[in-house]
Amino acid sequence: MVGLMIETRIDRQFSKLKAEGRPALVTFITAGDPDLAASQAILDALPEAGSDVIELGMPFSDPMAEGVPIQLATQRSLAHGHTMDKTLQMVRDFRKKDDETPIVLMGYYNPIYVRGSAAFVKEAREAGVDGLIVVDVPAEADDELCIPAIEGGVNFIRLTAPTTDDKRLPTVLKNTSGFVYYVSVTGVTGAAAADSESVSKAVKLIKSHSDLPVAVGFGIKTAEQAEEIGKYADGVVVGSILVEAIRKSLDENGKATNQTQAAVTDLVSSLRVGVEKARK
């Protein structure tokens, strides 16, 4: 494995939470949804609402792994002219107020490829990005982005799934850092949540191959689900329900209202209560 030369905010956060005996609440929003100003306000408010790690979606025109809620969020963002430059600026602006909460950029390789992997990693790290989740770069192509990210001081977080077996896991985990993201169900984001028994078995399997924290996502929508999954995982990832909350808060013209930020932060706060109850 290519080793990180530095400790990242992700490493520090999971170590801190492990000492506290509770899982991390990992929250996802799409950058620029529903517009840049509203999205920045939501991003800035997430830590106080209860988010321990933030995944910030990089809008892309062909989000193949996403369900309808995140597809629509991406469309709203792109319709307002959102770009990668604006995503990175959102992180810079966030860092003016918060230098502790980890931010992970999540999305697809195309917008990174056109900038050049090494150049993108350098710019992302300087902006304050701590990790990358890029769902369409396989482990067999680690030289493409994973290794440049690690060498640039940015965690590269891999996805595993119910279909990732003992034989495949070592390949997937070889250069993974920060944490492992276990996709608890097959299919797209926002699908039904997995049962706790299958999650427990999957986390144990992953931990038999890696010392990294394991965060579990896809389909978690309630505080009760967060509590149950949090009993077995080091992190609980919530995304589709948050971007759906944004959609439902918009006016008839699809514009943000004075309820948009609260729609997300109130939900994050309730999910945090669930995670707190999962203390080990």
**Catalytic residue list:** 55, 66
Give one DSSP letter per residue of 196-254, joined into a string: HHHHHHHHHHHHTT--S-EEEESS--SHHHHHHHHTT-SEEEE-HHHHHHHHHHS-TTS
Beta strands in the chain (DSSP E): 24-30, 53-57, 103-107, 131-134, 155-156, 159-160, 180-183, 214-217, 235-238
Q: In Å, how far are 67, 228, 230, 232, 249 from 195, measured between CA atoms?
A: 20, 9, 12, 11, 30
Angle at which helices 84-95 and 36-49 cross, to 10°: 40
Distance CA 121, CA 154 (A): 7
Q: Nearest-CA neighbor of 112 among 42, 48, 60?
A: 60
DSSP character for 170? Answer: H
Q: Which residue has the tokens 């997995």?
A: 194
Query: In angstroms, rounded to a whole number, what is the distance separating the alpha carbons of residues 51 and 268?
Result: 7
Question: Measuring CA to CA, which residue among 265, 183, 259 is closest to residue 220?
Answer: 183
Sign of the dihedral defined by the CA atoms of residues 211, 213, 183, 126, in that order: negative
Positive or negative, the CA dihedral 48, 50, 52, 57 is negative
